[in-house]
């Protein structure tokens, strides 16, 4: 898929903004009911799932709504500062997100899921790092852009 010049973005392949909003809605319902993650997210705003859908959408090649409205990657990092996330919470977050992807019918083809899982693995590990004492949000950090299996991790296109 990635070697085709007419390949759709991961955002388009996933089903666009509507599919990602559905994903994050189902996902955060699971998170709030989860004994491990529920306390971490107990104070989240009702808009949080929509904001996360915008962020994921932008990373996957969709419109730059999160950057325009929520300060881009630095804005996302700042929301993790001091949260003291750990591997157990990260792994559970991953599990619930992938269960939610299946539940809402996100594409299950190997190419899409490989790229999607690569991004959420990378992003969730970054969230753990940025939740530890001393972490800061660099305002100049570019928004990650994820594609179809680009070697070397995220590309900035």
pLDDT digits (tens, 9 = 90+) for 111-135: 999 999 999 998 888 888 877 788 7
Total number of domains constituting the chain: 1
Q: How does residue 153 score in pLDDT terms, banded at 50, 70 and 90? A: very low
pTM confidence score: 0.85
Could you report the per-residue pLDDT of 60-82, keeping only the tens digit for each? 999 988 778 767 666 566 565 55
Could you report the per-residue pLDDT of 140-149, keeping only the tens digit for each? 777 788 889 7
- What tokens were used for 41? 């997210």
Which residues is 145 bridged to in the sheet?
155
pLDDT of res. 76: 63
Full residue range of the structural domain in which residue 57 is found:
10-129
CATH assignment of the domain containing 25: 1.10.490.10
Q: Is residue 141 part of a domain?
A: no
Q: Is residue 150 part of a domain?
A: no
Q: Is residue 155 part of a domain?
A: no
How confident is the prediction for the chain on average, in pLDDT? 84
* DSSP codes of every residue in 63-131: --HHHHHH-HHHHHHHTTTT----HHHHHHHHHHHHHHHHHHT----HHHHHHHHHHHHHHHHHHHHTT
SS3 (DSSP) at 145? strand
């Amino acid at each position: 898929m990635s070697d085709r010049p007419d390949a759709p973005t991961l955002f388009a392949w996933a089903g666009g903004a509507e599919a990602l909003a559905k994903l994050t809605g189902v996902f955060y319902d699971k998170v709030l009911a989860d004994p491990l993650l529920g306390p971490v997210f107990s104070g989240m705003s009702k808009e949080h799932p929509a904001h996360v859908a915008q962020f994921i959408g932008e990373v996957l090649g969709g419109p730059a709504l999160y950057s325009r409205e929520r300060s881009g990657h630095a804005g996302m990092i700042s929301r993790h500062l001091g949260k003291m996330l750990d591997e157990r919470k990260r792994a559970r977050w991953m599990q619930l997100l992938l269960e939610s992807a299946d539940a809402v019918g996100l594409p299950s083809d190997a190419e899409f899921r490989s790229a999607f899982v690569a991004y959420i693995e990378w992003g969730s590990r970054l969230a753990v790092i940025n939740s530890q004492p001393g972490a800061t949000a660099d305002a100049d950090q570019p928004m990650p852009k994820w594609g179809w299996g680009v070697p070397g991790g995220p590309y900035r296109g």
